[in-house]
């Protein structure tokens, strides 16, 4: 890993500027602590592919021989027979793995879903949502307005926004530690930290155009499954609290009120929210 820990990433590439750099196998080290979000204090754990040097013998704990599946017309034909094999051995044997598709992680998940459905499971613990890289110019414009406002509004806590493209936005302080005011801990208020996943880029237009109720309406659209839904918030109560808290911090107390006098609601066109 690099000497400077600040540049450590989930995936780390090690290359060579020498002549062998063009022909050597690609060396990648996965920093598992960050990739899998291991608990704080866990020892650093790395997975390295194609290391330029073998590890020292005294550090070798176990040797395994692994291989990726090799796909061919015969393997494709074999994949088509997997469904008929599910539940064999008296209903005790089911098959799943990335080899059921094209060898990617997503193929492993897809195969696992097919396997549990063959067992009789019908309700999945999540709602499948496809990502799309398509964003219109109008959607980009409204996203830009939202982004500019959110960067100014979030002074307390942290909000993570997952876009339909798979890209993520971050507002506030991701390292924020919530401390309840003296005498307020008994209220059990949620920490100002949440993740909001947007299913439709038109969400940002809704929030900008209907600045007083747009965020709430977008969430209700999802609850009512109207028009396919626009947004789902992990903790919608938190969303309002942190938005209001950020504005309150900016104003120096008193909370945030829009033109209709509703506290805690985003105020788009006036930084003072009056």
Taking only the tens place, the pLDDT of each residue in 10-56 is: 999 988 777 776 777 889 999 999 988 888 889 999 999 888 888 89
Which range has highest mean pLDDT (56-65, 188-197, 207-216)?
56-65
Residue 189 and residue 162 share a domain: yes
CA angle, 25 then 31 then 35, to 5°: 115
Domain end among 50, 83, 118: 118
Residue 150 and residue 93 share a domain: no
Residue 93 and residue 55 share a domain: no
Residue 87 and residue 15 share a domain: no
Check pLDDT > 90 for residue 177: no
Q: Give the per-residue pLDDT at 114.
A: 92
**175 pLDDT tier (thresholds 50, 70, 90):** confident
Percent of the chain's residues with pLDDT above 90: 25
Q: In what order do the strands lie in the sheet with 27-31?
A: 11-14, 27-31, 46-49
Check pLDDT > 50 for residue 247: no
How many CB atoms neighbour CB 76 within 10 A? 9
Q: Please, which residues have CB within 8 angstroms of residue 272's CB and are 6 or more apart in sequence?
A: 251
**116 pLDDT tier (thresholds 50, 70, 90):** very high
Residue 183 and residue 238 share a domain: yes
Check pLDDT > 60 for residue 171: yes
Residue 231 and residue 152 share a domain: yes
Which comes out higher in pLDDT, residue 144 or 251?
144
Interval 183-209 mean pLDDT:
79
Q: Give the per-residue pLDDT at 222.
A: 57
User: How many structural domains compose the chain?
Assistant: 3
Check pLDDT > 80 for residue 164: yes
Q: Beta strand pairing status for 158-162 and 193-198?
A: parallel
pLDDT digits (tens, 9 = 90+) for 65-87: 888 788 899 999 999 999 999 99
Check pLDDT > 60 for residue 272: no
Q: Give the per-residue pLDDT at 19.
A: 75
Residue 97 lies in a domain: yes
- pTM of the full structure: 0.46
Residue 169 and residue 110 share a domain: no
Residue 265 lies in a domain: no
Q: Give the per-residue pLDDT at 138.
A: 93
Residue 174 and residue 148 share a domain: yes
Taken in order 128, 162, 234, 231, the sign of the CA dihedral is negative
Residue 186 and residue 113 share a domain: no
Residue 128 lies in a domain: no
Q: For residues 218 and 202, what is the distance between their CA atoms, to the nearest angstrom?
A: 10
Residue span of the structural domain in which 88 resides: 73-118
Chain center to CA of 2: 26
Residue 264 lies in a domain: no
Residue 65 lies in a domain: no
Check pLDDT > 70 for residue 230: no
Residue 39 lies in a domain: yes
115-124, 127-136, 163-172, 234-243: the lowest-pLDDT one: 234-243
Residue 274 lies in a domain: no
Residue 166 and residue 241 share a domain: yes
Residue 244 and residue 198 share a domain: yes
Residue 54 lies in a domain: yes
Q: Three-state SS across the chain? A: CCCCHHHCCCEEEECCCCHHHHCCCCEEEEEHHHHCCCCCCCCCCEEEECCCCCCCHHHCCCCCCCCCCCCCHHHHHHHCCHHHHCCHHHHCECCCCHHHCCCCHHHHHHHHHHHHHHCCCCCCCCCCCCCCCCCCHHHHHHHHHHHHHHHHHCCCCEEEEECCCCCEEEEECCCCCCCCCCCCHHHCCCCCEEEEEECCCCHHHHHHHCCCCHHHHHHHHHHCCHHHCCEEECCHHHHHHHHHHHHHHHHCCCCCECCCCCECCCCCCCCCCC
Residue 145 and residue 246 share a domain: yes
**221 pLDDT tier (thresholds 50, 70, 90):** low
Do 145 and 208 contact (CB within 8 A), yes or no? yes
């Amino acid at each position: 890993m690099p000497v400077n820990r600040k540049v450590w990433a989930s995936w780390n590439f090690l290359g060579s500027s020498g002549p062998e750099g063009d022909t050597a196998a690609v060396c990648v080290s996965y920093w598992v602590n960050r990739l899998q979000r291991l608990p704080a204090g866990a020892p650093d754990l790395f997975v390295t592919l194609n290391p330029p040097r073998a590890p020292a013998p005294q550090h070798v704990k176990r040797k395994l021989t692994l291989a990726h599946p090799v796909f061919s017309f015969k393997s494709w034909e074999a994949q088509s027979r997997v469904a008929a094999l599910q539940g064999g051995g008296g209903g005790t044997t089911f098959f799943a793995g990335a080899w059921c598709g094209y060898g990617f992680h997503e193929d492993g998940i897809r195969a696992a879903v097919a396997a549990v459905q063959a067992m009789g499971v019908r309700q999945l613990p999540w709602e499948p949502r496809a990502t799309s890289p398509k964003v219109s110019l109008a959607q980009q414009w409204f996203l830009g307005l939202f982004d500019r406002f959110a960067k100014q509004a979030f002074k307390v806590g942290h909000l993570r926004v997952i876009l339909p493209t798979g890209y993520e936005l971050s507002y506030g302080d991701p390292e924020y530690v919530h401390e309840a005011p003296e005498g307020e801990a008994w209220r059990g208020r949620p920490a100002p930290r949440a993740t909001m996943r947007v299913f439709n880029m038109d969400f940002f237009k809704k929030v900008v155009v209907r600045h007083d109720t747009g965020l709430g309406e977008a969430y209700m659209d999802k609850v009512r499954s109207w028009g396919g839904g626009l947004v789902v918030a992990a903790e919608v109560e938190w969303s309002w609290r942190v938005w209001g808290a950020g504005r309150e911090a900016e104003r120096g107390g008193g909370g945030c009120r829009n033109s209709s006098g509703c506290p805690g609601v985003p105020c788009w066109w006036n930084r003072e929210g009056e």
